[in-house]
Amino acid sequence: MRLFIAIDLDNTLKEKIYNIIEKLKTADCSIKWVEKENLHITLKFIGETPEDKIESIKKTILKAIDGIKKFKLSISGFGVFLNMKFPRVLWLGVKEGENQLKTIAERLSPSEKNFSCHLTIGRFKSTKNLEKLTDILKKLQLDFIGETEVSQVVLFQSKLTGSGPIYTPLEKFDLC
């Protein structure tokens, strides 16, 4: 099973983010956009995992969220990985809630101290119409996109299909 651990977003916030994606699509860039129902914040990508390891992963998640209270998460700003000359991923930033996300992510992967709080909205296939996209991003004023309360961490299964990935929650873990 292909697994990852993430924060799911409420439908209101997903709708706001998807409205932004719809505006960005007008740039006609070569980007594979994340589907509205798949919008999330990844805390740890696990990858292909034998079923007999799932119980161990669940225990790790419970340890990682121990003592973490529900918190507010706000989305604002945008960025790209690697950079605007060689873009690979277009993302939205996390403002409020960043410390809690980093704490959980670092507990899930103690050896990884460079967790970057972000919400992927698209993956670049090429740099076609990049200038037009940049202009639209500047005009959108993404200082504050929306917020939600984070009350759970979710273990997802990801099935890759020809039309895109399908994410299925395997288990949800409540915060304090």
**Exactly one of 39, 44, 92, 118 is catalytic; which is it?**
118
- Sign of the CA dihedral 96, 99, 103, 106? positive
Cα dist from 139 to 62, 66, 143, whole Å: 42, 41, 11
**Exactly one of 3, 39, 40, 155 is catalytic; which is it?**
40
Distance CA 17, CA 11 (A): 10
Tell me if residue 40 is catalytic: yes
Tell me if residue 78 is catalytic: no
- Sign of the CA dihedral 121, 129, 143, 103? positive
Residues assigned a catalytic role: 40, 118
